[in-house]
């Protein structure tokens, strides 16, 4: 039996029950502690939101104390597709449990990913029975299957939440082109997509990217307040 996901949490800044749930999905070789402090910054925009940042399910083969959503060798072009599909059920189970814990509808969910976490956020978020209120993806990739399976890929999309993609223009790990390919691919699937390119930023998140992400969530989650 797969281990249940868990990680650091922040309760709503204002007293009372949570009105929204924001879930951070960290990158390869990190863990839930890597992103949870972003919630402290965004509490000013979302004072009634609960934030959680689960640790990915597997130890990372390349980082002794880090975690991974799935292995990456960078030698197999299809390993990302297999990886997101393998990790998706456990993440979906976690999201459903967190929403139930806070007694929130599925529409009050927002997913925020970084790098490999963005791959998971997009893959799982686009296949929820009820669309999340928003997805924010930093420095990531829209993972697609082999060319022969693209028709099945399009038919697997069950929800079309608004998406914001943010990328550094000097990203040394995931090329900037991934931002534009992801935005075009999502738009072709019928999603509303916004994007921001952070000048002079590598594989990371700068203050401007955080500002865009927080403002985007505040707009999209506003109806769930």
Using one digit for the tens of pLDDT, what is the confidence trace for 98-119?
999 999 999 999 999 999 999 9
Give the Cα separation of 86 and 57 in Å (integer).
11
Tell me what the mean pLDDT of segment 185-193 comes to.
95
Does 61 map to a domain? yes
**What is the domain range of residue 93?**
9-224
Indicate whether 1 belongs to any domain. no
List, for residues 57-71, the tens digit of each pLDDT value: 999 988 788 999 999
Nearest residue to 11 (alpha-carbon basis) of 47, 45, 55, 59: 47
Count the domains in the chain. 1
Residue 144 domain flag:
yes
Please state, for a pLDDT cut of 70, what percent of the chain lies above it: 96
| 41-90: pLDDT as tens digits | 999 999 999 999 999 999 998 878 899 999 998 788 899 999 999 999 99
Residue 197 near residue 179 (C-beta atoms within 8 A): yes
pLDDT for 223: 53
pLDDT reported for residue 180: 97
Confidence of residue 173 (pLDDT cuts 50, 70, 90): very high
Q: Is residue 81 part of a domain?
A: yes
| Residue 2 belongs to some domain of the structure | no
Is residue 217's pLDDT more than 80?
yes
β-bridge pairing 49-52 and 20-25: parallel
Given this model, what pLDDT does residue 73 score? Answer: 86
Query: Is 168 part of a structural domain of the chain?
Result: yes
What integer pLDDT is reported at residue 1 of this predicted model?
35
- 101 neighbors 76 (Cβ within 8 angstroms): no
210: CATH: 3.40.50.1820
The model's pTM is 0.96
Mean pLDDT of the chain: 94
Q: Is residue 3 part of a domain?
A: no
Residue 43 lies in a domain: yes
């Amino acid at each position: 039996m797969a281990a249940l996901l868990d990680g650091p949490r922040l309760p709503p800044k204002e007293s009372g029950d949570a009105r929204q749930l924001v879930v951070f999905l960290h990158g390869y070789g990190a863990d839930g502690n890597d992103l949870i402090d972003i919630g402290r910054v965004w509490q000013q925009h979302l004072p009634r939101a609960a934030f959680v940042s689960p640790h990915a399910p597997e130890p990372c083969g390349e980082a002794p104390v880090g975690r991974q959503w799935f292995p990456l060798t960078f030698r197999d072009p299809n390993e990302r597709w297999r990886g997101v599909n393998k990790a998706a059920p456990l993440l979906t189970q976690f999201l459903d449990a967190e929403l139930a814990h806070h007694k929130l509808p599925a529409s009050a969910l927002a997913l925020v990913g970084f790098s490999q976490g963005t791959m998971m956020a997009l893959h799982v978020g686009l296949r929820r029975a009820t669309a999340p209120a928003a997805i924010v993806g930093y420095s990531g990739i829209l993972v697609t299957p082999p060319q022969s399976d693209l028709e099945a890929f399009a038919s697997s999309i069950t929800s079309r939440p608004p998406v914001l993609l943010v990328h550094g223009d000097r990203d040394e790990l995931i090329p900037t082109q991934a931002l534009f390919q992801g935005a075009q691919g999502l738009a072709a699937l019928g999603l509303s997509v916004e994007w921001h390119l952070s000048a002079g930023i590598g594989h990371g998140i700068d203050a401007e990217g955080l500002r865009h992400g927080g403002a985007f969530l505040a707009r999209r989650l506003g109806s769930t307040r």
